[in-house]
Structure 1
Amino acid sequence: MRYLIIFSLLFVGCDQLGSDTVPEYVVAGNAIGTTYAIKYYNDTELELEQPIDSIVKMFNESMSTWVADSQINKFNNGQDSVMVGKAFQTVFKTAQDIYRKTDGYFDPTVGNLVNAYGFGANGEQTKIPTQEQVDSLKQFVGFHKLDLVASAAQDSMNLISSQPGMYLEFNAIGKGTLVDYLAQLLEDRGVDNYLIEVGGEVTAKGKSLNRDDAWVVGIDDPTQNLQNRRLVGTVSLENKAMAGSGNYRKYRITEDGEQFVHTINPLTGLARPSKVVGVNVIAENCTIADGYATAFMAMPLEKSRELLPNLPEIDVLIMYLDENDELQLESTPGFNLKPQL
């Protein structure tokens, strides 16, 4: 049986009129191949269009594999040492930390495999790679093969690799990173209450003044169909970020009916669906939440259970199918999911 996975985040309980004392403003648009929405309370409306455009431009020039001359693509195109700026360095070091703490299940160097399966910027493959092809590409996987070394330029470092031919991509952490950039933009302008969403990843500061309570975000049931949308529950967020991952949006079916998904297990190189159908992670920022959500989608459920006691800095909801293909929810104590009745 093939499951159509719908796994998105909703703003829940957000009125349109603003609070009695502080006006509410909404800004929305398109960026990095997805959409963004910002809801904030402030005494006056802020001019955000130009600074948001600048942030997106900086992100694309630094980390987008869809921009030919970006810093990351200079590396992917074989340049031995690539000078990278502070934004790249910060994401690199966060990715490095998550890579280590998840025993390699979060690994942004799976780019060659992503392309081989047809899901990346250079991916044109319409068939599942053979085991021989996968084994050949696995030599280019391993975040420990990358390093940042000192550069003569101020605020810059050089990205180097011990394995020529590697392909690095931060797509699995990119939406969360953009959320954090937008949050910093509002912080710099003194906004105390806001909710930001980029492609389903969110961060919340303060509270919804309309409701005089924490921001509330809904989580879709991953086993639903398009005609019968329902939530598994809601989560209250206050000064926290949440990101989700699932294989419902990007998967392919071969001519013989075999399904392969965009979340690749970096240890095996395989892109096969598992019983885990959706993951949500709450963390102090959205870059961290996004990275861990990807990792827990890639690893077996048993491995998640093994690692979670050692990761007190995050809270996690894992949705999986049991032996009867019934949806089950499993979460850490601090996730505080309010079930949908």
Structure 2
Amino acid sequence: MTLSRRRFLSISAACLLAGPARAERWQGRAFGAEIDITIRGPRDIAGPAVRAARDLLRRIEAQFNLFDPGSQLSRLNAAGRLDTPDPMFRTLMRAADRVHRATGGLFDPTVQPLWRALADGGDLVAARRLIGWSRVTHGTQAVVLGTGQALTFNGIAQGFATDRVADLLAAAGFGDTLVNIGEFRGSGGPWTLGLSDPQFGHLGTRTLTQGAIATSSPHSVPLQGRGHILHASAAPQWSTVSVEAADATTADGFSTALALAPLDMIRALPGRHGIRRVTLVNTTGDLITL
């Protein structure tokens, strides 16, 4: 369905916390994003669950934070090799590989040298030559990069963290939660989320009861006159892409990649890879829901 409305969509935090149970809520920051974790349940057990979620987030950031020189990702980028990577690191590598393959290479974590060159005024041609996920090898013993390569998981790590926290809360017995770590995953609810596009403004809402939704707007973070979603050769095709899926890792990775994808590729995805719905806003503000 295509609607000629010059509005849409980057999920903004507008949750309706209605319901009979008391909501325990924590707000903070991680991965450079605002965090909002809400649990409906008795405060005496919801409070400790929130604290456990905060501890888990600190452990996840210790793996993937580009701005922490001691993180596993920073150590990998500095040395070109990471021996005996943490199981969590290996899990995210496998998830990134799945999205890379499913999108014909549009999702590529090796774009970090290009991001750095754009930010620092470096050699863009040389940086593009370093991009290529196929040059990365990873397994239980080591992750090894090609010469000069560096990784960023900024297009998938927030979704991964969202899933880990949501799974922790579910394992603790909570069935009515909303986790927002830049991407959303909810259970119970219903949770109502406000939607807007950086250029075309507020559209409306989405309701989440069981699953996840992630949104990418390439030009929400300008980078030397370009969008912040990068690739060796592809350029952003959409003002905003929102993906609803069974889990936030999938939603996050695909929303990143599909910002660069043609419509024909996107049309084939709902019903595959756990993707339930894709909503697009083109550069003139038209809305397409698949």
Contact 1:318 1:329 in 2 (8 A): yes
Offset at 1:247?
2.4
Contact 1:9 1:219 in 2 (8 A): yes
TM-score (norm 1): 0.75
Offset at 1:302?
4.5
Picking from 178, 181, 199, the partner of 1:223 is 199
2:13 paired with 1:10 = yes
- CA-to-partner distance for each residue in 1:33-73, whole Å, 9 max, x for gaps? 22111122113332245423422221122111111021111
Shifted more, 282-291 versus 243-252: the winner is: 243-252
- Report the equivalent of 2:266: 304
Identical columns (%): 24
Picking from 159, 167, 174, the partner of 2:157 is 174
Picking from 168, 177, 180, the partner of 1:194 is 177
The CA RMSD over aligned residues, in Å, is 2.5
- Report the equivalent of 2:3: none
Match runs of 1:71-90 below 5 Å: 71-90=72-91
- Report the equivalent of 1:165: 148
TM-score (norm 2): 0.87
For residues 236 and 102 of structure 2, what CA distance do their matches in structure 1 show? 23
2:78 paired with 1:116 = no
Secondary structure of the residue aligned to 1:117 is helix
- Report the equivalent of 2:209: 238
Secondary structure of the residue aligned to 2:69 is coil
More helix by share: 2
2:138 paired with 1:148 = yes
Contact 1:265 1:299 in 2 (8 A): no
For residues 220 and 97 of structure 1, what CA distance do their matches in structure 2 show? 29
Unpaired runs of 5+ in structure 2? 1-5
2:289 paired with 1:328 = no
Letter in 2 for 1:14: L
Alignment coverage as a number of residue pairs: 282
For residues 260 and 68 of structure 1, what CA distance do their matches in structure 2 show? 27
- Report the equivalent of 1:65: 66
Match runs of 1:224-303 below 5 Å: 224=200, 230-231=202-203, 233-252=204-223, 259-266=225-232, 268=233, 274=237, 276-303=238-265
Q: Which structure: larger Rg?
A: 1
Check 1:42–1:91 CA distance in 2 against 1; reply closer, same or farther (3 A cut). Answer: same
Letter in 1 for 2:161: L
Offset at 1:304?
2.9
- CA-to-partner distance for each residue in 1:66-89, whole Å, 9 max, x for gaps? 110211112211243432111111
